């Protein structure tokens, strides 16, 4: 187990207006550590979209 410390008050995630599916909001982030890699999962939304999940590649 290890402890993480936030380095600033700036958001870790913020919407990317050019991505239709996340241009309004991003939230509910979670991280898992597996096979020596960190994987970040989060929810996102836009006015015309149903909430989506994004898996980084």
Global pTM? 0.61
Could you read off the pLDDT tens digit of each residue along the chain, which spans 57 residues?
Answer: 888 888 888 888 899 999 888 889 999 999 999 999 999 999 988 877 754 556 665
pLDDT of residue 38: 92
Q: 22 vs 27, 48, 53, CA distance in Å?
A: 10, 10, 10
pLDDT of residue 15: 92
């Amino acid at each position: 187990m290890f402890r993480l410390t936030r380095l600033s008050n700036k958001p870790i995630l913020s919407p990317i207006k050019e991505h239709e599916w996340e241009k309004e909001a991003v939230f509910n982030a979670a991280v898992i550590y597996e096979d020596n890699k960190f994987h970040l999962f989060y929810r996102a939304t836009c006015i015309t979209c149903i909430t989506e999940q994004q898996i980084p590649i």
